[in-house]
C-alpha cells in the first residue's frame, strides 16, 4: 500500500503535489478522449451514404457542436479488425496528399466490436457527376460540362495517382465511385481518391498474384491484361482505369464496354 507514495517522493523534488495532481487529471482526460465511443461523439444523420470495399459509409456530425463540418464514418464489416482493415488503416495513416482521402481517426467500439474510420465528408463523386449529366441529356436538358472542370478533375486525379505510385502503393479499384469531389467549404472542388480496401504495396518488378488473391478492379474498369486473365500486372492498370472513367465523362456513358440492353 506504500508503493505509490514511495514512487511519488522523488517526483516531489521536481513538482509539487498540486502540479502532480494536475498532470494526473490531464492524463486521465486525454486517455478518456482516446477511448471515447463513436456514438458519444458523433450523431449519425439518416441512412448510409455509400459503400466501400469492406464496409458502409455514414454521414455524421459532432454532437457537441464544436464545429459545423460534416464527417464520413466508414463502418468496417464484420466484428473485430480484419487483415484488410489493418492494411487499409496502415496505408491511410502514412499517406498525406491533398488528392488522397485523409484518415482523421479510428474508433474501436467495444460493445459491438466494430471498427469505424473517420474522414471528412465529400458531397460528390465522379459517378454521380456522370449520372447527373447523363440524366439531363436523356431528358433533353443537357448541361454542358465546362472544359476547365474536366481539366481540373483529370489533373487532380493524376496528381493523386502519381503520389500513390511514387510511394509504391497500387489502389487496384479506381472507378468513378471512388473518386470523391468535395462540396461547399475551403476545399470545394478538391478531388479525393478514396477506398483503399484493395490497395497494396508493391515492388519493382511486381510479383505475380497469389492464387487466393482476388482479381482486382471492378469488372467494367479493368485493364485488358486483367480481362485476359493476367496474373502479373503493373501500375498501368490504374492509369487505364482513369482513362476509362474520363471516357465516360466525355461521352456521358456508363462504361466503355457496357453491353447493349443493360
Catalytic residues, by residue number, are: 173
The DSSP letter of residue 42 is E
Cell numbers standing for residue 227: 480481362
Helix (H, G, I), strand (E, B) or coil at 261: coil
Instruction: Report residue 102 CA to chain centroid gap.
Output: 7
Alpha carbon dihedral 194, 197, 201, 207, in 10-degree steps, equals -130
Among 241, 247, 202, 251, residue whose Cα is nearest residue 219: 241
Paired sense of beta strands 55-62 and 191-193, if any: unpaired
168: left (phi over 0), alpha (psi -120 to 50) or beta: left
For residue 176, give the nearest of 47, 50, 48 by alpha carbon.
Answer: 50
Look at the block and give the residue holding cell 472542388.
189
134: its cell numbers? 447523363
What is the distance between the alpha carbons of residues 139 and 171, in angstroms, rounded to a whole number? 35
Q: Does 74 appear as a known binding residue?
A: yes
Annotated binding-site members for ATP:
74
Annotated binding-site members:
74
Amino acid at each position: 500500500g506504500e508503493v505509490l507514495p514511495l514512487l511519488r517522493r522523488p517526483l516531489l523534488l521536481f513538482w509539487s503535489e498540486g502540479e502532480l495532481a494536475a498532470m494526473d487529471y490531464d492524463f486521465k482526460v486525454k486517455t478518456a478522449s482516446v477511448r471515447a465511443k463513436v456514438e458519444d461523439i458523433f450523431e449519425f444523420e439518416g441512412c448510409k451514404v455509400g459503400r466501400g470495399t469492406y464496409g458502409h459509409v455514414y454521414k455524421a456530425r459532432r454532437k457537441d457542436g464544436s464545429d459545423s463540418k460534416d464527417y464520413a464514418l466508414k463502418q468496417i464489416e464484420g466484428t473485430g479488425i480484419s487483415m484488410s482493415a489493418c492494411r487499409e488503416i496502415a496505408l491511410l495513416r502514412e499517406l498525406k496528399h491533398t488528392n488522397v482521402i485523409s484518415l482523421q481517426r479510428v474508433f474501436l467500439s467495444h460493445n459491438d466490436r466494430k471498427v469505424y474510420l473517420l474522414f471528412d465528408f465529400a458531397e460528390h463523386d465522379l459517378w454521380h457527376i456522370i449520372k447527373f449529366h447523363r440524366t439531363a441529356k436523356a431528358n433533353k436538358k443537357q448541361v454542358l460540362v465546362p472544359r476547365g472542370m474536366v481539366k481540373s478533375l483529370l489533373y487532380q486525379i493524376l496528381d493523386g495517382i502519381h503520389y500513390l505510385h511514387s510511394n509504391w502503393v497500387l489502389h487496384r479499384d479506381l472507378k468513378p465511385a471512388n473518386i470523391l469531389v468535395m462540396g461547399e467549404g475551403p476545399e470545394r472542388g478538391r478531388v479525393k481518391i478514396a477506398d483503399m480496401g484493395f490497395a497494396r504495396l508493391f515492388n519493382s518488378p511486381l510479383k505475380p498474384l497469389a492464387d487466393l488473391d482476388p482479381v482486382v478492379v471492378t469488372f467494367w474498369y479493368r485493364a485488358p491484361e486483367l480481362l485476359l486473365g493476367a496474373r502479373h500486372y503493373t501500375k498501368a492498370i490504374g492509369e487505364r482505369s482513369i482513362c476509362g472513367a474520363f471516357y465516360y465523362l466525355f461521352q456521358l456513358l456508363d462504361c466503355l464496354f457496357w453491353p447493349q440492353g443493360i
